A and B are shown apart, each in its own frame.
Chain A
């Protein structure tokens, strides 16, 4: 647990050390901020749960003791103490924090605890893990559908033989066992292969987590949990196979031998008439008509296409949203051209005033908003005081989108972040008691906004800031039309070193860069998986369909349909189903997918994510990619119609 940061005197450090010792805790420190230009060779990577998460935009480096001494001697920066406490029981963290606050020991800078570390790291890797789990679950559903397709295709091919087996007196139970044993063996082999393949592949997905957070200690769970998951999948597959094979009971021996086809596809009444149609060519018309008349059969393919579109479009939209400049509104930050961050330094207050002074006189600046984040005490339900980071200043200059309510307009109003509102149990219109200038004041919650920074626990008010507990200063500004933002950034960086000056995109890149690059990988992966699944299912389905339709194909060929025209018919069918699937998938992605991502993101502080859609990717490139894959697969899968002799099928 880290309860402290900021400048401390040697005496203060001593006092904290003795206090910790007296309480049976161990304490360690410290880090330095620097302004001196010095070159260092990177020798290794340091795991840093506090500052490595990309959402944290402060970073720190480890230097040798000699270099550290040199930096101190050169007056390159100021020593900042970071006191860390390792508790025996994590559950005691809250009590420990209260105890510390009551002890009267120095309390400068923000205090962070294990839960916050976990949340911060989860935002980088958790989002990716959530998407991977989602894609995996969908893949399981598709795999089960795949099994159904394969089994139905096999039964279709063996239909006559099944009839013969029944006719010679073999019971359906025995026939079922014959098939089931085959699938049980295949499922067992595939499960074993999947289980063992998961270990090396696992490293690929968890490399980032292991780098940033560390490797979990080896325990039986490491092997048992995947084994249990594989066992569940195996049992599900066998159960599903038994379910599909139940249809053996319904097969009539005579009918199977006579027709050689299950023929259980319901054909709807003729609604579309060729003699009345003028819109489409004959093969296209036949393809469309066939889909409408055998909807029950095509719904499985439709489901797969809907799911595939969903698993492509949701990550693509989410990636586009998270990369978009307006994503900043989920970070509790208004949209401005440039953001200047000032953090702990000796003359922070004066530097801040100087900055405001300079900006107010800068002719290139159109408008600016100075905001101070400081810590206030808030009375909780149990009558004790908690800390609350509150951003104060004029919040109307670069306004935020509020989930509900609005920005605080008077000094007796406060806006809470979504996570704070949930944790404190306060909604818009409720009141909270906050200590301002040493006096308790009851103020009203004016609104709730989304914020994924600082663990999602922030607030905004227009009360005077708490001078003793300032965490950081931020100045946001918009430049006038025509002023170059990069040049302005350089100017301010130079003038107000070590202030951190970023443009909006830069701020997003620095805070979400890691998440974005991980999400890009997942998006490409999801795209690959969806295309592969579409190819696999389309191929299986079309092969089954061609076997089922062999008589119809032979009739069409005898009437003078060239193979190319029959292929057009099947490609039309596949593309029609794909078109509807992509349309439904797109609608679902933007509704259910958005809710799903909102649900995941609500853990991090943003409950209402609105996708920012790049229509070229979401509505053109992805569907075209799927359509091309499906059309090519259809053509490859129906190639077998060439081999089927017309006369042989006709005579049979």
Chain B
């Protein structure tokens, strides 16, 4: 397999008071292969979201290096990092974070219009296809105040996919949704992964993590567990078996 993202001795600390340092990530070494579906789990404050933001170039690691397709992005200037996020990466957040003053369609097409990789008409066409695929095509002209949480998260997924990213990052993408909406979103992410996109999710939810192929476990800023659980077959029994396998493993790790 070819590594798409690699973290080497990544540390992150914040200066809390004048000279007091608080370490959030400690010597993280991690490699994600192209096309993998990975979940990062851990208790609150374990550093899993910080890991996601540091290896995606959204935040700057205090030390260590992060390689995206072999290139060290910690040395990238702000403009190149922005370009990387625009063209190669997609993000989904727990609180969705759509732009309030734009309708659903505009929120989706925004980064594609900025990237200018294709004509406005083909961007609109692709947005239409994505919305259809995620079942929100009837909401294109609606304001974001006129949709449910699940629908908004689908808009966020469409927005993340509009520039056909090579890797999709999700920070608790189902954290604010009910179980039905969670299942629907995970089905969509499963389809995206099946189409070849690498995915790294941060989650508390074992049910969500059970849909991925590989689960990382973090504790007190360290990566203490890494388990491959194979491809999810979409069978109901398969999901239950995976959940139980994961549950046992996490219990061993003290979660």
> Smallest CB-CB separation from B172: which chain A residue?
A651
CB within 8 Å of A: which B109-124 residues: 109-111, 113-115, 120, 123-124
Nearest CB of A to B169, in Å:
10
Interface residues of A in 273-303 (CB under 8 A from B): 273-275, 278, 282, 289-290, 293-294
Could you tell me the distance between the alpha carbons of A564 and B114 in the complex, rounded to whole angstroms?
Answer: 13
A275 to chain B, nearest CB (A): 5
Q: Which of B58, B83, B98, B111 contacts A562 (CB 8 A)?
A: B83
Per-residue CB proximity of B16-56 to A under 8 Å, as 1/0?
00000000000000000000000000000000011001000
Contact A650 B124 (CB under 8 A): no
Q: Is the CB of A558 within 8 A of B91?
A: yes
* Cα distance A642–B105 in the bound complex, in angstroms: 28
- Beta-carbon contact of B114 and A560 below 8 Å: yes
The answer to whether A49 has its CB under 8 Å from any CB of chain B is: no
Q: Are A552 and B99 in contact (CB under 8 A)?
A: yes
Chain A interface residue number, banded? 20 to 34
- Give every chain B residue within 8 A of A282 (Cβ-Cβ): 110, 113-114
Does A269 sit at the interface, judged by CB under 8 A? yes
Q: How far is the CB of B32 from chain A (nearest CB, A)?
A: 19
Interface residues as binary, B137-155 with A (CB distance below 8 Å gives 1, 0 otherwise): 0000101000000000000
Looking at B58, B114, B115, the one whose CB has the most chain A CB atoms below 10 A away is B114
In angstroms, Cα B4 to Cα A572, docked, is 38
Q: CB of B79 within 8 A of chain A? A: yes
Cβ of A290 and Cβ of B101 under 8 Å apart?
A: yes
Q: Which residues of B contact A8 (CB under 8 A)?
A: none
Chain B contact residues: over half helix, strand or loop, or mixed? helix
B89: chain A residues at CB < 8 Å are 560
Q: Does B102 make an interface contact (CB < 8 A)? A: yes
The reply to whether B102 and A562 form a contact with Cβ atoms under 8 Å apart is: no
Query: Residue A267 at the B interface, CB < 8 A?
Result: yes
In the assembled complex, which residues on chain A have CB atoms less than 8 Å from the CB atom of B95?
Answer: 650
Q: 1/0 per position for B80-109, CB-CB distance to A under 8 A?
A: 001111110101010101111111011001
Complex Cα–Cα for A333 and B49 (A) = 82
Question: Who on chain B is nearest to A293 by CB?
Answer: B101
Q: Give the number of residues in B that approach A within 8 Å (Cβ atoms).
A: 41
A370 and B79 CA atoms in complex are apart in Å by: 77
Taking a contact as CB atoms closer than 8 A, the residue among A554, A556, A559, A563 that contacts B78 in the complex is: A563
Kindly state the separation between the CA atoms of A439 and B141 in the bound complex, as whole angstroms. Answer: 89
List residues of chain A with CB within 8 A of the CB of B171: 650-651
> In whole angstroms, how far apart are the Cα atoms of A199 and B114 in the complex?
57
- List of B residues within 8 angstroms of A269 by Cβ: 143
B159 in the interface (beta carbon within 8 A): yes
**CB <8 Å contact, B101 and A267:** yes
CB–CB A275/B49 < 8 A? no
* Cβ B91 vs Cβ A274 within 8 A: no
Q: Which B residues lie within 8 Å of A274 (CB)? A: 102, 106, 109-110, 113
CA distance A565 to B123 in the complex (A): 20
Is B191 on the interface with A (CB-CB < 8 A)? no
A111: interface (CB < 8 Å): no
B165 → chain A closest CB, angstroms: 10
- The chain A residue sitting closest to B77, CB to CB, is A562
CB distance from B75 to the nearest CB of A (A): 17
Contact with B along A550-576 (1 / 0, CB 8 A): 011011111111111100000000000
B85 with A558: CB separation less than 8 A: yes
A273 touches B111 (CB 8 A): no
Is the beta-carbon distance between A560 and B111 smaller than 8 angstroms?
yes
B71 interfacial by beta-carbon distance below 8 Å = no
CB A272 to nearest CB in B, in angstroms, measures 9
Kindly state whether residue A646 has any CB partner on chain B within 8 Å: yes
Partner of B82, one of A267, A554, A563: A563
Query: In the complex, which of the residues A294, A554, A558 has the most CB atoms of chain B within 10 Å of its own CB atom?
Result: A558
Cα(A558)–Cα(B103), bound, Å: 19
Residue A647 is within 8 A (CB to CB) of chain B in the complex: yes
The interface residues of chain B lying within 8 Å CB-to-CB of A556 are 99
The answer to whether A273 and B114 touch across the interface, beta carbons within 8 angstroms, is: no
In the complex, what's the smallest C-beta–C-beta distance from B127 to chain A, in angstroms?
7
Report whether B110 and A646 are in contact in the complex, using a CB–CB cutoff of 8 Å. no
On chain A, the residues within 8 Å of B103 by CB distance are: 270, 273
Contacts of B106 in A (CB 8 A): 270, 273-275
B78 and A560: CB pair below 8 A? no
Q: Which B residues are in CB contact (< 8 Å) with A639?
A: none
Q: Which residues of B contact A559 (CB under 8 A)?
A: 85-86, 91, 110-111, 114, 159
**Which of B58, B111, B124 contacts A646, CB < 8 Å?**
B58
Given A270-B143, A282-B114, A560–B99 Cβ distance below 8 Å?
A: no
Docked Cα-Cα span, A558 to B57, in Å, equals 10
Q: Which 6 A-B pairs have the closest CB atoms?
A: A560-B86, A647-B53, A562-B82, A560-B85, A274-B106, A647-B59
Residue pairs across A and B with Cβ atoms less than 8 A apart, 12 shown, are A273-B103, A274-B109, A274-B110, A275-B127, A552-B100, A554-B97, A559-B111, A560-B89, A560-B163, A647-B53, A650-B58, A650-B95
- New A-B contacts (4) at CB < 8 Å, excluding given A275-B109, A563-B78: A275-B105, A560-B163, A642-B78, A647-B53
